[in-house]
Amino acid sequence: MIVAIDGPAASGKSTTAKKVAEALGFAYLDTGAMYRAVTLAILKKNIDMNDPVALKMLLDSMDLNVSTKNGDTVVTLNGINVSDHIRSVEVTQHVSAVSAIPVVRESMVKIQRDIGHRSDCVCEGRDIGTVVFSDAEYKFFIIAERETRAKRRQLDLRNMGEERSVEELVSDLKIRDQKDSTRKHSPLTRAADAVEVDTTHMTLDEQVMYIVSKVKKVK
Ligand code: DC
């Protein structure tokens, strides 16, 4: 069974999805982490994003692994743990461009479907309900006002030792929202059958309870 959770950057969907998976006893898949890992690999190897052949070679030779440990996403790239590295400012700045490349999406979607078919899974991203698992049993689309999202992102970054102003983060999010929702391939959009959850005025526990109760009610 698949629970698909999509939504814009910093909408709170990762934290929510993680907790929903825990409450339901399902696996959790953070697909954004996979696009971040590919972005890191491209930056490290200095690969030209406009060269599909070089990109395909990288994707085919890359050993990318995503798992969860104590509820947190662990990403290894060619055997090296890059879980922190993929959240860096540099990766964040380039990931929208990388995730818009068709050859990258094809490769990631294939891996995501393989993982999702292994066990019951809460799968989180931008195109889970529309493309990756368009037949998912449960679909949620999480939104929140941009300023709220910027404040949440500010707290996350602060916990990682980075200080950014809310204004700066609002402007970053505006750019990412624009890129993620207007790209040609699998743009961020709500699936027609997804339940929209506006978390602007909700606590984390309320978001989790809301989704878990919806799934349990139908189950
Ligand atoms: O959720 P996140 O911020 O870690 O995602 C990083 C980027 O990856 C985001 O800019 C959009 C992209 N992404 C995507 O295109 N498709 C997904 N299923 C997940 C993320």
Q: What average pLDDT does the structure give for the chain?
A: 93
The domain that holds 161 is classified in CATH as 3.40.50.300
Which tokens is 202 given?
Answer: 């909700």
Q: For the segment 158-207, what is each residue's pLDDT rounded down to a tens digit? A: 988 889 999 999 999 999 899 888 988 888 999 999 999 999 999 999 99
Q: Residue 219: inside a domain, yes or no?
A: no
pLDDT of residue 179: 87
Q: Residue 48: inside a domain, yes or no?
A: yes
The residue whose C-alpha atom lies closest to atom 4 belonging to ligand 1 is: 32
The residue whose C-alpha atom lies closest to atom 18 belonging to ligand 1 is: 125
66 Cα: distance to centroid of ligand 1 (angstroms): 14
User: Percent of the chain beyond pLDDT 70?
Assistant: 99
User: Percent of the chain beyond pLDDT 90?
Assistant: 80
Taking the C-alpha atoms of residue 11 and residue 199, their distance in angstroms, rounded to an integer, is 8
What is the pLDDT confidence band of residue 219, given thresholds at 50, 70 and 90?
Answer: low
What is the pLDDT confidence band of residue 218, given thresholds at 50, 70 and 90?
Answer: low
Write out the DSSP string of 71-82: TEEEEEETTEE-
For the Cβ of 11 lying below 6 angstroms from any atom of ligand 1, the answer is no
95 Cα: distance to centroid of ligand 1 (angstroms): 7
What is the pLDDT confidence band of residue 70, given thresholds at 50, 70 and 90?
Answer: confident
Tell me how many domains the chain contains: 1
pLDDT of residue 48 exceeding 60, the answer is yes
| Domain span at 133 | 2-212
Residue among 6, 3, 51, 28 nearest 187 (CA): 6
Q: For the segment 108-144, what is each residue's pLDDT rounded down to a tens digit? A: 999 999 999 999 999 999 999 999 999 999 999 999 9
Q: Residue 71: inside a domain, yes or no?
A: yes
Residue among 26, 190, 219 nearest 123 (CA): 26
Q: Residue 80: inside a domain, yes or no?
A: yes
For the Cβ of 149 lying below 6 angstroms from any atom of ligand 1, the answer is no
CA angle 218, 2, 206 (to 5 degrees): 60
What is the pLDDT confidence band of residue 41, given thresholds at 50, 70 and 90?
Answer: very high
pLDDT of residue 69: 87
Residue in the structure block whose two tokens are 């391939």: 185
For the Cβ of 116 lying below 6 angstroms from any atom of ligand 1, the answer is no
Write out the DSSP string of 158-197: HHTT----HHHHHHHHHHHHHHHHH-SSS-S---TTPEEE
Q: Residue 72: inside a domain, yes or no?
A: yes
